[in-house]
């Protein structure tokens, strides 16, 4: 355990002990300091004035060793300081800072080939500049740490939100498949009923056919009996009855021997069954070219289960502050980025009196309040305060004869144009994407 420097200081010279001696009163002094004191006064302790019992007090070896260790440490520290503040090549004091090589140099180094053409500044100025730069770096790093701590703090909430998001998505998937199953069950029931109905019709037809055949068999049997009887009669009786017997045999019409079309039309029921069912289901299933991405929606925008419509709520939905989300303005973008070709979709605006719609670039800012203008990555049409405006720079007022309930957005990526049309009369507004971006 090291002692405080006050305990290693001679009371006479007020410096670190040199060859300390120990008096009987337990006070220590440098040997030379004590000798000088005793030359001018009585042989007593300079501190407590107690008479010394010995003319030559013993050396305080323990104190001497501690003091020598302290002096040696001081010497090494001084040498190290000189090494840090002096040039290792020329031994001169480091007074300049090379701005190119970012190192401290002496005046000899400055005139050498290595640094002759380099800009230098005094050490004092360089220290201030470096401190300012390090302070800025420190602030950036601290901001990053604060940001990471904030992310870490909210990670549990995000994990909980992800679980809820997964459960809700699974619920909606089950709901969609349940609807499909119901459609399939209804179609299955209808087709099974059609087979059953045809079966009943065919069986009823066969029963009628059997009755008809039985009646014809009976009629023919009776005619055969009459002819057989006539053949047993006398010749004159046979001749008298021949005409009537012949007419009776000829009047028997055989119409029940046609047996075609009696079976169930299996081909009609099974031909391309899966395809025909799928084709019929498509008539009842809507396809939407634009699906809204809930991960980009402002917290106050509530999306429908089908992700095709939304409404504004004053209270936030409690979604996380992920980077894809619009945090300032109440906006949401579609799920699929468009990078080529021609595309169009129709937006139902209904009776909404405040809306903005169109196309946004992937780089559009989402965590800052900016105008929906081309220079910010937005090509949009706005309806606000009863006025239509194409959000060019500056905005272009539009005069329409009526307020449309639908807006058709048409993007030609290859040509770089965005058009807004009223599907009812094809009234349009158009501006150039690339020329205004």
pLDDT truncated to tens, each residue of the chain (437 aa)?
455 777 789 998 989 898 999 888 889 999 999 888 888 777 888 888 888 877 788 889 888 988 888 888 887 776 665 556 677 777 677 778 888 888 888 877 877 887 878 888 888 788 888 888 889 999 999 999 998 888 888 888 888 889 999 999 999 999 999 999 999 999 999 999 999 999 999 999 889 888 888 888 888 888 889 888 888 888 888 888 888 888 877 776 665 566 778 889 999 999 999 999 998 888 888 888 888 999 989 988 889 988 888 888 887 777 888 888 888 888 898 877 777 888 888 899 888 888 999 898 888 888 888 888 888 888 999 998 888 888 888 888 888 878 888 888 888 888 888 888 888 776 665 555 444 33
CATH number, domain 5-84: 3.30.40.10
Distance of alpha carbon 86 from alpha carbon 108, whole angstroms:
12
Full DSSP string of 19-43: SEEE-TTS-EEEHHHHHHHHHHS-S
Distance of alpha carbon 338 from alpha carbon 336, whole angstroms:
6
Whether the ω angle into residue 432 lies within 30 degrees of 0, i.e. cis, is no
**How is domain 294-436 classified at the CATH fold level?**
Jelly Rolls (2.60.120)
Secondary structure element (H or E) that encloses residue 359, with its range: strand 355-360
Strand, helix or coil at 298?
Answer: coil
Q: What is the DSSP letter of 336?
A: S
Distance of alpha carbon 252 from alpha carbon 226, whole angstroms:
13
pTM: 0.57
Q: At what angle do helices 123-232 and 273-282 cross, to 10 degrees?
A: 120
């Amino acid at each position: 355990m090291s002692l405080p420097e006050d305990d290693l200081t001679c009371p006479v010279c007020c410096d670190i002990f040199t060859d300390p001696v120990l008096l009987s009163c337990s006070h220590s002094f440098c040997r030379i300091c004590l000798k000088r004191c005793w030359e001018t006064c009585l042989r007593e302790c300079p501190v407590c004035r107690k008479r010394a019992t010995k003319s030559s007090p013993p050396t305080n070896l323990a104190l001497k060793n501690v003091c020598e260790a302290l002096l040696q440490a001081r010497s090494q520290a001084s040498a190290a300081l000189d090494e840090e503040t002096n040039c290792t090549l020329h031994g001169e004091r480091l007074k300049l800072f090379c701005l190119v090589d970012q190192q401290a140099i002496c005046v000899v180094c400055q005139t050498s080939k290595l640094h002759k053409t380099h800009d230098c500044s005094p050490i004092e100025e360089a220290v201030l500049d470096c401190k300012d730069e390090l302070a800025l770096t420190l602030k950036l790093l601290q901001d990053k740490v604060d940001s990471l701590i904030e992310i870490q703090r909210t990670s549990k909430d995000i994990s909980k939100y992800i679980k809820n998001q997964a459960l809700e998505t699974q619920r909606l998937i089950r709901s969609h498949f349940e609807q499909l199953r119901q459609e399939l069950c209804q179609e299955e029931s209808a087709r099974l009923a059609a087979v059953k109905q045809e079966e009943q019709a065919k069986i009823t037809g066969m029963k009628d056919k059997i009755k008809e055949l039985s009646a014809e068999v009976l009629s023919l049997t009776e005619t055969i009996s009459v002819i057989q009887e006539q053949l047993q009669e006398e010749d004159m009786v046979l001749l008298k009855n021949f005409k009537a017997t012949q007419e009776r045999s000829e009047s028997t019409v055989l119409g029940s021997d046609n047996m075609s079309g009696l079976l169930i039309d299996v081909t009609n029921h099974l031909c391309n069954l899966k395809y025909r069912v799928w084709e019929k289901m498509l008539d009842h299933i809507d396809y939407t070219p634009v699906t809204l991405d809930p991960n980009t929606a402002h917290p106050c925008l509530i999306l429908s289960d089908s992700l095709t419509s939304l409404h504004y709520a004053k209270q936030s939905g409690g979604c996380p502050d992920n980077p894809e989300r619009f945090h300032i303005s109440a906006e949401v973008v579609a799920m699929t980025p468009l990078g080529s070709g021609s595309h169009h979709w129709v937006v139902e605006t209904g009776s909404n009196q405040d809306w903005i719609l169109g196309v946004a670039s992937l780089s559009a800012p989402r965590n800052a309040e900016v105008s929906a203008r081309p220079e910010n990555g937005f090509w949009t049409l706005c309806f606000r305060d009863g006025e239509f405006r194409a959000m060019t720079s500056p905005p272009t007022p539009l005069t329409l004869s009526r307020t449309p309930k639908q807006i058709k957005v048409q993007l030609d990526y290859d040509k770089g144009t965005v058009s807004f049309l009223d599907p009812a009369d094809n009234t349009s507004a158009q501006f150039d994407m690339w020329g205004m971006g």
